[in-house]
Amino acid sequence: MDALPSVLILEILNRVNDFTDLVRCRLSSKTLNSLSYNVRSLNLFCSYDRYLKSKAPGTKASVTPFKKVIKQVLQNLRNIEYVAIGVEKPFRGLFDDDDGDDESDDLYLSDVNFVSEWLPEISGSLRSLSVSDFWAQSCWRQSEVLSRISSCCHVLLELELKNAWLSVKGLKPMPMLTSLTLEYVRLDDEDLDKVNQCFPSLETLSLIGVGGLKEPKIHLWQLRTCHWTLSNAPISLTIHAPNLTSLKLNCVKPRSLVLEAPLLSALYLCIEGTDKFGLACLYHLKSLCIKTADICILGQLFQYGRTVKTLVVDSPKWDELVGVGGEVGFGALSSAFPNVCDLELGPRAWSSLEMSFCMRSLNDGSRMKDLKRLMIYLGLSEFRVTCSFISSLLDHCTNLSDVALLIHRDVSFDVASRLKSRCMTDFPGFRWRWGIWKEETKDIWIS
């Protein structure tokens, strides 16, 4: 190893990435030990096994406190650009008295006093920082770590904080920051307002399971990508981002939802419903995933369907949307989204469209001439109707070549096999894919 060029050895060390492996390298060779202080990225995660050993009477005396390990490993790093510290299984111990460790703080990693002991020394070159806390120790301790980070990390581009109760007290502007992830943290509305003010250059924002928000507002002019999953039901929700191109929004039932993002090209919206839905013009929308039974939302999104090329939909209420004075079923879908190339129909949407097909067969207007790929989630409650609808649908989509059918796990093997055999016999020229689905589980692909 010592005979290798230093540049090559350093490249190898940068790929090691994990702190335990880095420590082993330091102990194995003077050359490795010297060069290890020039690594650019490092992950320091406490395993759950290590956590259990640190608590057990027979082993805790031999386990070095994790905070001490972090400080030792980060000490004297000269060119570090990426640091991630965290805890494996961060929510274990929260509801189990045997595992609970609320009084301890060795895994309270967003502790501002602890962070202040090592962050200033490496902040000069730091571009990305991730801190994932141990919720049993952090949920009842409010941290001002944001203030400390903003005070010393002047070239930071990416920041990720997870499983913490955050305060924005003393938060300073960070004009260089372009990416922010807050996951399972506690914030108030005024805290989010401060985030809007202090991070004006954000291009990527992820707010996953952020609790405490009631009337949250996002006002970010440079924002390009946003992923927002709300764990509670806020009164109102506002997103004002004139340069936003991609939005994934998952929320329960806010009283109002206002979306002002005229350049949006990709929208994923999963929402139970809302009393008021305000939507700016979406003339650039190319990809749409909509999972809702809210007629107001569906109706407004249908207005911008002509530009959509990729469509994922799961709603049982097509009939209510177009049943008065209009065509019911797949014809309404093809009319609203005539230029779709990729179409995915969720189980509720398929069931509703199948029911409409029973009342009225597809006509010549029920065509998607550009459709090339189709994915369907089937319940197979009526085998004959399902087969007939699939056959009619494929006949009306002349450019279709790739079909994926996912069958509910509770459907018997014999019934699923009959459907597979019939589809492949009637349409041998298609590329068929088969899978199994069930609520709240991951899809399984068979072929």
Q: What is the pLDDT of residue 275?
A: 83
* Closest listed residue to residue 310, CA positions, set 342, 282, 344: 342
Q: What is the DSSP letter of 27?
A: H
Q: Could you give the count of Cα atoms lying within 13 Å of 379 in the half-sphere of its Cβ? A: 14
- Residues 413-424 have pLDDT tens digits of 999 999 999 999
Give me the pLDDT at residue 22, please. Answer: 64
Give the residue ranges of DSSP H helices in 271-412.
295-302, 318-322, 330-336, 347-359, 383-396
- Residue stretches of the chain with pLDDT short of 70: 1-36, 91-102, 231-234, 316-328, 361, 363-366
In sequence order, the β-bridge partners of residue 207 are: 182, 228
The CA–CA distances, whole Å, from 313 to 66, 304, 337, 348 equal 46, 15, 11, 9
Amino acid 330: pLDDT: 79
Q: In what order do the strands lie in the sheet with 217-219?
A: 217-219, 236-240, 256-260, 276-279
Task: Determine the pLDDT at residue 31.
Answer: 63
Q: What is the pTM of this model?
A: 0.86
Instruction: Specify whether the CB–CB gap between 46 and 66 falls below 8 A.
Output: yes
pLDDT score for 297? 83
Give the DSSP per-residue string, 80-102.
Answer: --EEEEEESSTTTTSS-TTT--T
Return d(Cα 164, Cα 162) in angstroms, integer: 6
Q: Where are the domains of the chain?
A: 307-447
Closest residue by Cα to residue 343 from 313, 367, 366, 322: 313
CA–CA separation, 320 and 328 (whole Å):
9
- 3-state class of 326 per DSSP? coil
What local confidence, expressed as pLDDT, does residue 102 receive? 59
In this predicted structure, what is the pLDDT of residue 325? Answer: 36
